[in-house]
Amino acid sequence: MTGEEMERAIDFLLKSQANLEARIEQVNANLGARIDETDRQIAETNRQLNEFASVQTTFIQVVTRTFEAQDAINRRTDDKFNALIDTVNRMLGGGLGSNP
């Protein structure tokens, strides 16, 4: 190999190395951008999940209070019906001022 061929081979290798380094830098930049975007998306997803969890917690609390209130209403209604049934039974059985 002559000196000129050697210089061309070295020049080719240096250019190839520079090209490879430039491509690696571009890949790193693209990868970094994708990682940043993924991090932003994950952060937004976490925010939305936390908000959803908070809404669900509030919803469960409201439903629980509603069921508890309905239970109290049902108990009062049952008590009133039982009192009415007792009154009717006493009346039919001659217990409340009826003439036997």
Q: What is the pLDDT along the chain (100 residues), one digit of tens a residue?
A: 898 999 999 999 999 999 999 999 999 999 999 999 999 999 999 999 999 999 999 999 999 999 999 999 999 999 999 999 999 999 998 655 555 4
Could you identify the residue written with the tokens 């008590």? 79
pLDDT value at residue 70: 98
Phi and psi at residue 96, in whole multiples of 5°? -120, 75
The alpha-helical segments, DSSP class H, found in 1-100 are 3-92
Distance CA 49, CA 57 (A): 12
